[in-house]
């Protein structure tokens, strides 16, 4: 950090933002800090919304029912049924819907005013979700095809036999190892980078408008620019939150579809 | 003259070049396809977002490598 900025009181966000101190049960394995409490709150809110939104449904829907139906229908039609077909789409619908709503809720807390940090910005939650998606597509392959799932995935047909020595380790690496890693890192780093940028722009606006201007330094006028940029970037951050949830569930559906495809 | 800085930032800057070119290519091809067949816009837009997320994944892995504390060979 440059010496001039530190001396005059500008504190940019650091990686320590993602590791706040414990609030409950400190020192035990069940230690809850702020981010864990946010995740628990999001799960409670999601369960409540989905339960209350699907109770007492009428044939001619009211306003609340239209919104819930629209979102659930979007996940079912455009993600599950479109990639997997009718039968398999309905069978794998619960896991795909979980992989849509859970990252969506957790990502969106990053833009809510007093919460400010996404539940998926520490590695635990993206890692667990990626491992579940990994188990799902391996299970789907074994359930539908048995051991020919491994034959299809690792020994691609139509290739001269000596190339298998090169191709099979690469395929194994790319299918069974790289996929969960990229799923985790894509979700995690989108949220980490977004949070650091937003916190930096807000801290810069605070510093320019409330520390530099009152002390007479005319550089504080740049604060107007950073505020405008902050508003634009907040809109972009909401878009990234939605997009990452959509991509996570869509990729889970596509990996399942690749596993259960009969022929190449 | 002493210049002090963080070398990982240069690495990430280079990684962002590939990501920028890739995303531009995906979006450009989508716009071209929609110009040819406007009725496929919804489907192609979904595929475009999927392509963008896949290309940018490598860019974000480059950021993640920057946060790993590699042991220094000459001492901390």
pLDDT, tens only, A56-107: 777 676 777 788 888 888 888 888 888 888 888 888 899 999 999 999 999 9
Has residue B74 been placed in a domain? Answer: no
Would you state the structure tokens that stand for residue A213, as one six-digit string?
Answer: 């201007």
Question: Which residues make Cβ contacts (< 8 Å) with residue A264, sequence separation at least 6?
Answer: A152, A156, A157, A158
pLDDT for residue A261 = 78
End-to-end CA distance of chain B: 22
Contact A183, A251 (CB under 8 A): yes
pLDDT for residue B32 = 94
Has residue B5 been placed in a domain? Answer: no
Mean pLDDT of B43-65: 84
Calculated CA dihedral for residues B13, A106, A16, A22, nearest 10 degrees: -170
Has residue B3 been placed in a domain? Answer: no
**Which pTM does this prediction carry?**
0.85
- Choose, out of B64, B67, B68, the residue to mutate when testing the contact with A (most A CBs < 10 Å): B64
For Cα atoms B8, B10, B14, give the angle at the middle one, nearest 5 degrees: 115
Q: Do the chains contact at A247 and B60, CB–CB below 8 Å?
A: no
Which ipTM did the prediction report?
A: 0.77
pLDDT for residue A28 = 77
Residue B30 reports pLDDT greater than 80: yes
- Neighbour-count burial of B2, counting CB atoms closer than 10 A to its CB (0-12 exposed, 13-18 middle, 19+ buried): exposed
Contact A171, A156 (CB under 8 A): yes
Has residue B38 been placed in a domain? Answer: yes
- Using an 8 Å CB-CB cutoff, list chain B residues near A243: 49, 52-53
A184 min Cα distance to partner chain B (Å): 10
Would you state the structure tokens that stand for residue B3, as one six-digit string?
Answer: 């210049």
CATH of residue B23's domain is 1.20.20.10
CB of A15 less than 8 A from some CB of B: yes
Q: How confident is the model at residue B75 (pLDDT cuts 50, 70, 90)?
A: low
How many domains does one find in chain A? Answer: 1
Has residue B6 been placed in a domain? Answer: no
Has residue B4 been placed in a domain? Answer: no
* Full domain range(s) for residue A68: 3-260
Q: Do the chains contact at B49 and A193, CB–CB below 8 Å?
A: no
pLDDT for residue A248 = 92
How many domains does one find in chain B? Answer: 1
- Using an 8 Å CB-CB cutoff, list chain B residues near A78: 46
Mean pLDDT of B30-41: 92
* Full domain range(s) for residue B24: 11-65
Q: Do the chains contact at B63 and A246, CB–CB below 8 Å?
A: no
pLDDT for residue B33 = 93
pLDDT for residue A2 = 42
pLDDT for residue A80 = 85
Q: Which residues of chain A have pLDDT under 50?
A: 1-7, 264
């Amino acid at each position: 950090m440059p010496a001039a900025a530190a001396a005059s009181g500008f504190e940019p966000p650091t990686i320590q933002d993602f590791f706040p101190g414990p609030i409950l049960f400190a020192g035990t394995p069940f230690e809850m800090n702020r981010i864990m409490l946010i995740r628990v709150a999001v799960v409670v809110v999601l369960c409540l919304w989905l339960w209350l939104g699907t109770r007492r449904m009428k044939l001619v829907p009211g306003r609340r029912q239209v919104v819930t139906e629209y979102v659930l229908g979007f996940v079912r039609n455009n993600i599950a049924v479109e990639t997997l077909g009718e039968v398999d789409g309905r069978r794998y619908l619960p896991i795909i819907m979980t992989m849509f709503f859970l990252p969506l809720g957790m990502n969106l807390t990053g833009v809510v005013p007093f919460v400010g940090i996404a539940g998926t910005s520490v590695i635990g939650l993206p890692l667990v979700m990626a491992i579940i998606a990994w188990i799902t597509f391996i299970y789907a392959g074994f359930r539908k095809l048995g051991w020919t799932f491994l034959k299809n995935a690792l020994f691609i047909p139509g290739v001269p036999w000596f190339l298998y020595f090169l191709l099979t380790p690469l395929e194994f690496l790319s299918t069974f190892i790289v996929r969960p890693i990229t799923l985790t890192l894509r979700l995690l780093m989108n949220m980490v980078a977004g949070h650091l940028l937003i916190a930096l722009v807000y801290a810069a606006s605070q510093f320019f408008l409330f520390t530099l201007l009152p002390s007479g330094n005319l550089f504080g006028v740049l604060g107007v620019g950073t505020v405008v940029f902050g508003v634009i970037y907040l809109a972009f951050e909401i878009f990234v939150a939605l997009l990452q949830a959509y991509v996570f569930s869509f990729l889970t559906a596509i990996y399942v579809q690749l596993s259960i495809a009969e022929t190449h | 003259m002493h210049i002090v800085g963080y070398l990982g930032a240069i690495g990430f800057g280079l990684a962002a070049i590939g990501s920028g070119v890739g995303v531009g290519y995906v979006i450009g091809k989508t716009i071209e396809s929609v110009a040819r067949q406007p009725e496929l816009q919804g489907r192609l837009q979904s595929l475009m977002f999927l392509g963008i997320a896949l290309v940018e994944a490598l860019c974000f892995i480059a950021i993640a490598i920057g946060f790993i504390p590699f042991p220094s060979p000459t001492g901390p």
